Amino acid sequence: MWWLISYLNSPELVAAFQRACGLYPAPRTTETGRVRGHDPGNTTASKIQHRKGDLVATGRSLSQDDNSNFNHTADDCKMNQKTPQYEVRNWPLYFLFVVSATLGNEVFYISFLPCIHWNLDPFLCRRLVNMWAVVMYIGQVMKDILKLPRPTVPPVVKLEQRVDAEYGLPSTHAMAATAISFTLLFSARERVQFPFEVGLVLAVLLSGLVCLSRLYTGMHSALDVICGILISALILGITYPHWSTLDVLQLKSPLSPAVVLVLTLCLCYKYPELDHYSTTRGDTTIIMSASAGSSVGYWVNHQLGQTFELTGPFPVTLPPITAVTFALGVARFVVGVSMLVLTRQMAKWASLRVICRCYGVSPSDTIARRRREVEVPYKFCTYLVIGLVNSMGACRVFSMMRLL
């Protein structure tokens, strides 16, 4: 058993998969003899910034020697960044897996989940957002409790740098892809008529591509991905029998908004503290606050009797897609995403300045913005408003513009 776990967690296995898919480290240079790709510059530079921020945040002043060491290492990183760190020999697979990897990023969530709300059924979006928040919080917390590292470079080639300071197990991309794909599959079966076998194949295909993309990009071991799938499947299995009950409580209980807001905010503040800065706490706050805002918005819609949901009897037969319905769908998507992007910029600008003023720090101070007392409330407020706009504001704007 331990041999199998060690094998699945091996970076050599990830490297072998990358080579099989045509992704290789850049060849040695003739001038320095270094292996390009041995140390991705962005990764080391990011860790240098994190270390400097941690020292300052803990009250330690940087000595001249510290700054000299940091700057010397950073200069080496900049030299490495000027040359490619990897070589692609199979471009179709490269584009396939890079695009698949984006299905677990903020850009995908802020577009796909609202699109389900605006163009299909808010009921489905509510289910997806709820499960997305649950699995992502559990996955992120497990990462920072277990503290298992990501695959090492070399032999692995890493294509992403932003989250490299995070720990590896479990893969939250794999968790989210599994949860979203199969929550949509099982929830849509209750609402609309479609060939279940086709939906099952699509769910397996999409979640499988996302999982394989984490190996291709070098961000997770096979063990990270497998554990992410199994944990997500376990959560789905435990919660599935209670989805209908949770729907009733979420929409009809007078305590629902207060419970959701207090619970999510407490979970964000109680997030495990690390010995270095990483994006996990901030990303988790974004997810929890967006889901809280959406939940409150759905509750308000239900109280007002204007939910914008499909009307039964269920499952309904969806009308055929015509040129007119397609154009309306595109218009709703463009208008809705524009509203969310504008809301994000305005809410972030306002909340960041209010919070920073309360603590007497500058909004442009990156180190200060990483402190828990600043990062959590400003991101929570920003994405809480985005969740409200998604669930309440967008469809009402569509009605005024006659896009529904």
Contacts with 337 (C-beta within 8 Å, 6 or more apart), sequence order? 110, 111, 114
Residue 5 half-sphere exposure, CB side, CA atoms within 13 Å? Answer: 5
What whole-number distance in Å separates Cα of residue 60 and Cα of residue 134? 37
In degrees, rounded to 5, the angle at the alpha carbon of residue 214 between the alpha carbons of residues 212 and 219 is 150
At 193, which amino acid appears? Q
What phi and psi values does residue 322 have, to the nearest 5 degrees?
-105, 175
Where would I find the H helices in 120-216? Answer: 122-146, 172-191, 196-216
Determine the length of the chain: 404
Active-site choice (50, 72, 117, 173): 173
What whole-number distance in Å separates Cα of residue 198 and Cα of residue 211? 20
Please give the radius of gyration of the chain, using alpha carbons only, rounded to the nearest integer. 23
117 is catalytic: no
Active-site choice (38, 50, 117, 220): 220
220 is catalytic: yes
Task: Name the pairing type of β-strands 23-25 and 86-88.
Answer: antiparallel
What phi and psi values does residue 9 have, to the nearest 5 degrees?
-90, 0
DSSP 240: G
Which residues carry out catalysis? 173, 220
